[in-house]
Structure 1
Amino acid sequence: MKYIGAVMLLSIGMQAQAQFGVIQDKDGYTNVREGAGISRKIADKVQDGEVVYTWEQEGEWCNINYHRKNEIESGFVHRSRIKMINTFEKIKVRQQTETNVVFQQDSVTVMFTTRPFVEKDHQVHHGKSEEGFSFVEKIDGNDFYGCDGGLPTREYNTFTIQIGNRAVVVPEKAIRDLYQPNPELTEVFYDRKNDRLYITASNSDGAGGYEVLFRFDHGVYTKRAIYYGF
Structure 2
Amino acid sequence: MKPKFLSLISFFCCIFTINAQYKAPFAIIKDKDGYVNVRENSSIKSKIIDKIYLNQVFEDQRHFGSSTRDWIYISYGVKYDKKTQYFKEKTGYIYADRILYLENLPQLKKRVINKNNIEFNGNGIKMILKFGKFNNQFHIIKKSNGYVEKIDNEIPWGIDGILPEPFIEIKTIHLIINDKEFSFPKNSLQGIYQPTTENIYVSTRSALSLFL
Instruction: Give yes or no for TM over 0.5.
Output: yes
Distance 1:142 1:111 in 2: 24
Which shows bigger deviation, 142-151 or 40-49? 142-151
1:185 alignment partner, SS class: coil
Residues 1:188 and 2:205 are matched in the alignment: no
Structure 1 residues 77 and 8, CA gap change in structure 2 (3 angstroms): same
Q: Tell me if the contact between 1:96 and 1:184 (Cα under 8 Å) persists in the aligned partners.
A: no
Q: Mind listing any 5+ residue stretches in structure 1 that lack a counterpart?
A: 1-6, 200-230
Question: Hey, what does 1:19 align to over in structure 2?
Answer: 25
1:173 alignment partner, SS class: helix
- More contact order relative to length (CA 8 Å, sep ≥ 6): 2
Residues 1:144 and 2:156 are matched in the alignment: yes
Residues 1:99 and 2:99 are matched in the alignment: no
1:27 alignment partner, SS class: coil
Distance 2:142 2:130 in 1: 28
Structure 1 residues 135 and 89, CA gap change in structure 2 (3 angstroms): closer
| Greater helix content | 1
Q: Tell me if the contact between 1:24 and 1:48 (Cα under 8 Å) persists in the aligned partners.
A: no
Q: Tell me if the contact between 2:139 and 2:151 (Cα under 8 Å) persists in the aligned partners.
A: yes
1:160 alignment partner, SS class: strand
Distance 2:100 2:153 in 1: 36
TM-score, normalising length from structure 1?
0.65
Question: Hey, what does 2:74 align to over in structure 1?
Answer: 64
Q: Indicate which of 51, 57, 73 corresponds to 1:46.
A: 51
Residues 1:34 and 2:48 are matched in the alignment: no
Q: Mind listing any 5+ residue stretches in structure 2 that lack a counterpart?
A: 1-16, 81-87
1:174 alignment partner, SS class: helix
1:44 alignment partner, SS class: strand
Q: Indicate which of 145, 158, 182 corresponds to 2:172.
A: 158
Q: Tell me if the contact between 2:28 and 2:58 (Cα under 8 Å) persists in the aligned partners.
A: yes
Structure 1 residues 154 and 26, CA gap change in structure 2 (3 angstroms): same
Q: Tell me if the contact between 2:79 and 2:90 (Cα under 8 Å) persists in the aligned partners.
A: no
Which amino acid is the alignment partner of residue 46 of structure 2?
K
TM-score, normalising length from structure 2?
0.70
Deviations 1:158-188 (A, max 9, x none): 2111111221222212213323222320010
The 5-angstrom pairing of residues 105-116 of structure 1 reads 105-116=122-133
Structure 1 residues 45 and 28, CA gap change in structure 2 (3 angstroms): farther
Instruction: Indicate the RMSD between aligned Cα atoms, in angstroms.
Output: 3.0
- The alignment covers a number of residue pairs equal to 182
Question: Hey, what does 2:192 align to over in structure 1?
Answer: 178
1:68 Cα shift? 6.1
Question: Hey, what does 1:226 align to over in structure 2?
Answer: none
Which amino acid is the alignment partner of residue 35 of structure 1?
N
Q: Tell me if the contact between 2:154 and 2:190 (Cα under 8 Å) persists in the aligned partners.
A: no
Distance 1:126 1:64 in 2: 28
How many percent of aligned residue pairs carry the same amino acid?
23
Q: Which runs of 4+ in 1 moved over 6 A?
A: none
